[in-house]
């Protein structure tokens, strides 16, 4: 698939699912594309940076790398493979530890051991290249060779419909779309882009279930991280699926 194909995929996703947001493409690069700022220039957090890209036009792309880590969330840098897992995360994410961040804790897991076991279950995380780039599909340059995944922001109805289209050509009723545990950037980037070694193949990731981002995302907004090959199949299935054949079911006129 060419860059132009993924620009078209982004456009078709907007049209088919009535998105008011911009689909974002995730890819790796050995050469930094021109005109893309480092993530820290937008926000230290992947989730906030991607939300701003998807919902506005001021920024069309961001990048991170091992050499541009200053000002970035350490958890995010770990989740895209540029640093080892920070030792204090397992305490901070769970029940806390007196000598780690003054005992601050998020209470997202019952114990540090559970966090560590989840990290091991996901497997080592490998960056896709010297630079990891997230860029609006409509702004993709012509010189790309590979897109890893697509990230779509939408309301509940839009994301439900996208998930239903993913299931359209699948026989497995359970695993084509799942809600993973982990950070928002794991749902948006790590898992759909296949950066974690044990990521289940051919799976889309819905969420985020990370409540620490509830302050930055509207209450009715959800995200779907979609592997690139799956996004291609979704577009190929549009014309024969309910999205095109029964739009009044996919997008009924709601009566209050």
For 62-108, the pLDDT digits (tens) are: 999 999 888 999 999 999 999 999 989 999 999 999 998 899 999 99
For 37-65, the pLDDT digits (tens) are: 999 999 999 999 999 999 999 999 999 99
Burial class of residue 39, CB neighbours in 10 A (0-12, 13-18, 19+) = buried
CA distance 35 to 214: 30
For 154-205, the pLDDT digits (tens) are: 999 999 999 999 999 999 999 999 999 999 999 999 999 999 999 999 999 9
Query: What percent of the chain clears pLDDT 70, i.e. is strictly above it?
Result: 98
Do 87 and 93 touch, CB atoms closer than 8 A?
A: no
* pTM beyond 0.75, yes or no: yes
């Amino acid at each position: 698939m060419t860059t132009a194909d993924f620009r078209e995929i982004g456009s078709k996703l907007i049209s088919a699912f009535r998105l008011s947001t911009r689909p974002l493409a995730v890819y790796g690069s050995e050469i930094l594309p021109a005109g893309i700022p480092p993530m820290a220039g937008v926000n230290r957090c992947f989730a906030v940076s991607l939300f701003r890209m998807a919902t506005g036009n001021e920024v069309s792309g961001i990048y991170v790398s091992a050499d541009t880590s200053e000002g970035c969330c350490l958890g995010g840098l770990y989740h895209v493979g540029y640093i080892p897992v920070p030792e204090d995360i397992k305490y901070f994410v769970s029940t806390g530890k007196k000598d780690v961040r003054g005992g601050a804790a998020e209470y997202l897991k019952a114990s540090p051991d559970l966090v560590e076991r989840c990290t091991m279950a996901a497997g080592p995380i490998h960056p896709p290249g010297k630079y990891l780039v997230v860029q609006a599909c409509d702004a993709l340059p012509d010189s790309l060779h590979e897109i890893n995944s697509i990230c779509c922001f939408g309301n509940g109805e839009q994301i439900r419909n996208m998930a239903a289209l993913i299931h359209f050509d699948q026989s497995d009723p359970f695993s084509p779309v799942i809600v993973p545990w982990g950070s928002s950037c794991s749902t948006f980037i790590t898992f759909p882009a296949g950066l974690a070694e044990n990521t289940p193949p051919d799976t889309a990731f819905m969420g985020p279930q990370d409540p620490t981002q509830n302050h930055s995302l509207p209450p009715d907004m959800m995200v779907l991280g979609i592997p690139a090959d799956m996004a291609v199949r979704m577009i190929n299935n549009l014309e024969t699926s309910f999205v095109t054949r029964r739009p009044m079911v996919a997008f009924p006129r709601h009566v209050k």
